[in-house]
Chain A
Amino acid sequence: MHKQLVVILGFVAMVPATQVNSCKKTTPGQGPTPLSFVTPPGFPPPQYNFAGNPLTKQGFELGRKLFYDGILSKDGNFPCASCHQQFAAFCTYDHDFSHGYKDQFSTRNAPGLFNLAWQKEFMWDGGINNLEVQALAPLTAHNEMAEDIGHVIEKLKADTVYRTLFKAAFGEDDINSQKMLRALAQFMVMLVSADSKYDRVKQGRAVFTPTEESGYTIFRAKCAGCHAEPFFTDFSYRNTGLPLHPQLKDYGRMKITADSADSLKFKVPSLRNVALSFPYMHDGRFYTFDQVLQHYTTRLVKSPGLDPLLTNMITLSAADKVNIKAFLKTLTDSAFVKDKRFAQP
């Protein structure tokens, strides 16, 4: 009898303490550790709104774990990293399309993930307007991760490790989609690729070979109209004379804007790490540099929507092509693809 009373009194005594703790958001000095974002030399200020999602070590690490965890997919087999492989600058190496749930394929070539902090719109058609909501598309696509947002949150809530990590990153017990998406965004926004040989040359830390140097000169004259430095894309949408794929019937940007002027327009991809990101184009139809150069010099299909810069195709001599290919290889960022911070935890 006495024992029971003591137990009850104990509970009552604990009540005020419990209340105080459960209401506290963060304990001073024990919050997440701020992480700084470094803008590389020559890069403009980033587009991503860091004020709305302050970078922290814990948030970034949580994002990294989520990125590599199959828990985000319906059957557990398809983490983000299954299509976005670090050794390929986070595209799918050597695949036109990527593999998804139940042996299905994606319908577009997975783009490399880097320098996303400077990107305003995402996907080949630019349909997604904020990095934070980008992950929802592959997560819910029936042929990719095939999951349901609510179900993912339930799975994360049921996982004690994740409960601890979310609390460490965001200071609250609750797990919701906003925190999951912000953690993923923290990881992805940190994927900065700006340490290629090209970058080192620009900073005076390396020199091009004569072939690379000539390639760079031709590149600036003939390619940089769309593949503008320092990102090697101007982030615009263009019709580059690729005929409509007869089975996929992918009209690109027009799907988003419903404007026939945007028919067959796709985002200009960055050429950073381009030696790792084959096959090329939005549907991976070309496997080699040579095929791509051949397209722009002799094969492209002229239609009313063709980009004005390509009206007369691009004229390149055999030597020009050799030089351009040498230059493109200087855009490979070997440090980025081996950076331990971005590897599977």
Chain B
Amino acid sequence: MKKLSFSIVITVISLLCLAGSCKKETSGSGSIKPVDSFNLVIYFKPVADSVLLHYDSTYTNYWKEKYSVSNFRYYISHINLINTDSNVTKQINDEKYFLVDAVDSLHCLVKLSVAPFRYNRISFTIGVDSAHNVSGAQTGALDPINGMFWTWNSGYVMAKLEGRSSKSSLVNNKMEYHIGGFAGPTSVLRQPTLLFPFGKYLEIGVGSKAKMTITASTNAWFYNPHELKIANTPSCTTPGQMAWSIAENYSKMFTVTTITN
């Protein structure tokens, strides 16, 4: 009888495994697509300057305005790994979009399959390229179910920062920045290139797996080069000059802090 229950367990497990084996790469209500095989995991660590960001805590921006965060999300795509010594750029996962969501660390992981090489830079697009803003219904990370699509003025919200601040004049002291706009001079698409910590390389060997942590600081949204005071501008939810300025700011929010080869 004992043997029998054991075999039942085995059977159930194997059935479950098989059921799972045909899952597609879609992410359902989640955001980040798992990749079949990956050798680099990037953790986009949400921070306020150097402090890990928690949704229930209060932080202070450059203008001494206190704020808390309830939503911090952005798209990453068109990732390149670069070696400037030998002038090599490897494009990876060109058609993949990742929605990084600070709600939990699992949604901050981007898993990539990278060509073996020694790299000293990474670049990526913050946002969704214009073609995918105009070509109809999308799925996966780009599914409008993820709340990153404007329905009245078609286009993706490329990055979103929501929360509260006593400096905000809006109802419930809301602070709400939905940054989008893919066309013309106020396009918010940005492609930052990040240096690695001094003397550090990303070594991707055959069969090896590497990890990288890139911090993304909410505080960067509020200054440099453009002043964004919550007291003056508690919300920005349409494409245009203000969105463009904020995108300039947040394009500088990333820092590569650790690489583990």
Q: Which residues of A contact B (CB under 8 A)?
A: 1, 4-5, 8, 11-12, 15, 18-19, 22-23, 49, 52-53, 123, 127-133, 136-137, 139-141, 149-150, 153, 172, 174, 176-178, 181-182, 185, 255-256, 258
Across chains A and B, which 5 residue pairs bring their CB atoms closest together, nearest first? A132-B136, A181-B137, A178-B139, A132-B137, A136-B151
Smallest CB separation, A175 vs chain B (Å) = 11
Residues of B near A136 (CB, < 8 A) are 144, 149, 151
Q: Is B206's CB within 8 Å of the partner chain A?
A: no
Query: Which of B7, B22, B136 interacts with A181 by CB under 8 Å?
Result: B136
> Which chain A residue lies CB-closest to B4?
A4
Contact of A149 with B152 at beta-carbon distance under 8 Å, contacts A5-B4, A52-B135, A132-B137 already known:
no
Which chain A residues border B144 with CB–CB below 8 Å?
133, 136, 149, 177
**A15–B14 alpha-carbon span in the complex (Å):** 9
Interface residue? B153 (CB, 8 A): yes
Q: Is B49 an interface residue (CB 8 A)?
A: no
On whether the beta carbons of A150 and B154 are closer than 8 Å, the reply is: no
In the bound assembly, the distance between CA atoms of A174 and B135 in angstroms comes to: 21
Out of B143, B152, B240, which one reaches A127, CB within 8 Å?
Answer: B152
Chain B residues positioned under 8 Å from A258 (CB to CB)? 238-240
CB distance from B233 to the nearest CB of A (A): 16
Could you tell me if A128 and B154 are in contact, using CB atoms closer than 8 angstroms?
Answer: yes
B84 / chain A contacts, CB cutoff of 8 Å:
none
When the two chains form their complex, are residues B152 and A137 in contact, meaning their CB atoms are under 8 A apart? yes
Kindly state whether residue B237 has any CB partner on chain A within 8 Å.
no
Q: Let me know if B8 and A8 touch, CB within 8 A.
A: yes
User: Within 8 Å CB of B134, what residues of A?
Assistant: 129-130
CB of B18 closer than 8 Å to a CB of A: yes
Tell whether B171 is near chain A: CB-to-CB under 8 Å: no
Q: Which residues of B contact A133 (CB under 8 A)?
A: 136-137, 144, 149, 151, 154
19 contacts between A and B (CB under 8 A): A8-B4, A8-B7, A23-B21, A52-B136, A53-B136, A123-B152, A129-B134, A131-B136, A133-B137, A137-B152, A141-B151, A150-B145, A153-B145, A174-B26, A177-B143, A177-B144, A177-B145, A178-B137, A255-B153
Query: Is B2 on the interface with A (CB-CB < 8 A)?
Result: no
Contact B22 A129 (CB under 8 A): no
- Does A140 contact B151, Cβ atoms closer than 8 Å? yes
- The CA of A1 and the CA of B144, in the complex, are separated in Å by 52
**12 more CB-based (< 8 A) A-B contacts, given A127-B154, A185-B137:** A1-B4, A8-B7, A22-B22, A53-B136, A128-B154, A129-B134, A129-B154, A133-B144, A141-B152, A176-B26, A177-B143, A177-B145
Residue pair B29, A49 in contact (C-beta under 8 Å): no
Q: Report the minimum CB–CB distance from B7 to chain A (whole Å).
A: 6
Asked whether B187 is an interface residue with its Cβ less than 8 Å from the other chain, the reply is: no
B194 to chain A minimum Cβ distance, whole angstroms, is 32
B37 interface residue per 8 A CB criterion: no
Measured in the bound complex, the distance between the Cα atoms of B152 and A123 in whole Å is 9
Report if B138 contacts A (CB, 8 A).
yes
CA distance A331 to B241 in the complex (A): 44
When the two chains form their complex, are residues A256 and B137 in contact, meaning their CB atoms are under 8 A apart? no
A131–B137 CA distance with the chains assembled, in angstroms: 9
Task: Give the shortest distance, in Å, between A154 (CB) and chain B (any CB).
Answer: 9
CB of B51 within 8 Å of the partner chain:
no
The residue of chain B having its C-beta at the shortest distance from the C-beta of A15 within the complex is B18
Contact present for A8 and B149 (CB under 8 Å): no
Task: Output the least CB separation between B78 and chain A (Å).
Answer: 21
Contacting residues, chain A, for B238 (C-beta < 8 A): 258
Chain B residues with Cβ under 8 A from A52's Cβ?
A: 135-136
Taken together as a complex, chains A and B put the C-alpha atoms of A176 and B139 apart, in Å, by 8
| A130/B151 contact (C-beta < 8 A), A1-B4, A149-B145 known | no
A43 to B145 CA separation, bound complex (whole angstroms): 36
List, in ascending order, chain A residues with CB within 8 A of B14's CB: 12, 15
A177–B140 alpha-carbon span in the complex (Å): 10
Q: How far is the CA of A105 from the CA of B136 in the complex (A)?
A: 28
Contact residues of B between 1 and 18, Cβ < 8 Å to A: 1, 4, 7-8, 11, 14-15, 18
Q: How far is the CA of A123 from the CA of B150 in the complex (A)?
A: 14
A49 and B18 within 8 A (CB): no
Assembly CA distance A172 to B19 (angstroms): 15
On chain A, the residues within 8 Å of B1 by CB distance are: 1
Instruction: Given A178-B143, A256-B153, verify A18-B133 contact (CB < 8 Å).
Output: no
B11 touches A130 (CB 8 A): no
Q: B181's closest neighbor in chain A, by CB?
A: A258
Q: Could you say which residues of chain B place their CB within 8 Å of the CB of A123?
A: 152
- Taking the complex as formed, is B24 at the interface, i.e. its CB lies under 8 A from any CB of chain A? yes
Closest to B139 in A: A178
CA distance A11 to B11 in the complex (A): 8
Q: A129-B133, A130-B154, A149-B144 are in contact. Are A178 and B11 (CB under 8 A)?
A: no
**CA gap between A154 and B143 in the complex, in Å:** 14
The residue on B at minimum CB distance from A149 is B145
**In the bound complex, do residue B26 and residue A150 qualify as a contact, i.e. CB atoms below 8 Å apart?**
no
Which A residues lie within 8 Å of B8 (CB)? 8
Residue of A nearest to B138 (CB): A178
Please measure, in the bound complex, the distance between the C-alpha atom of A29 and the C-alpha atom of B21, giving whole angstroms.
26
A4 and B29 CA atoms in complex are apart in Å by 39
Contact yes or no, B21 A19, CB < 8 A: yes
Nearest Cβ in chain B — how far from A149, in angstroms? 5
